[in-house]
Amino acid sequence: MKKLAVALMLLAATPAFAADPSEMLKDPVLEKKAEDLGHELRCLVCQNESIEDSNADLARDLRVIVRERIAKGETPDQVKQYVVDRYGDYVLLKPPFKITTLVLWLGPFALLVLGALAAFAVFRRRGAAATQTQSAPLSAEEKRRLDALLKDNGQ
């Protein structure tokens, strides 16, 4: 009985959307465009949420304006530019690739390459050191002593 109740409740549960159904565009293609764009735009109030996910008033306003512009026939890039013109690159959850963000984008890879080079250098040196000790032949004197020792042991 309890299990049935839980199952029924789960059935009734739908994913939460911040976007009010009344805000959504009638045309599902345009609505999809607006949603995809909205997921890339940062809510300026809650900062780590996109405007699609946020319940803040400002996020709601931006959702409405994004949809208005999409419905008017603007491309998502044009609408994105409209928002960036007002709020800067900060509003983009994914920072753009340009001179000032070069370190941000390439830094991790640069560190990875640096680490790989360092590891390569260290391992190669160790390998070289190991083969060197192996290949050093015994001198005649060493051989004689080794034989003597082995003989002693055999007795």
Position 58 contacts other proteins (CB under 8 A): yes
Residues 23 and 64 sit within 8 Å (Cβ to Cβ): yes
**Judged by CB, which is closer to other proteins: 84, or 93?**
84
Q: Does 60 bind other proteins (CB under 8 A)?
A: yes
CA-to-CA separations, 75 to 32, 37, 59, in angstroms, rounded: 12, 10, 20
Give the number of residues in contact with other proteins, rule: CB under 8 A: 16
Q: Of the ranges 1-9, 52-60, 69-77, 131-139, which one interacts with other proteins (CB under 8 A)?
A: 52-60
**Count of helices and strands (H, E) across the chain:** 6, 0
Please, what's the b/e burial string for 58-91 (b: 16 or more CB within 10 A of its CB; e: otherwise)? ebbebbeebbebbeeebebeebbeebeeeeeeeb
| CB of 7 or CB of 47, closer to other proteins | 47
Task: Check residue 145 for interaction with other proteins (CB under 8 A).
Answer: no
Query: Cβ closer to other proteins: 85 or 141?
Result: 85
By the criterion CB under 8 A, which residues form the site for other proteins?
44-45, 47, 57-58, 60-62, 64-65, 84-88, 90
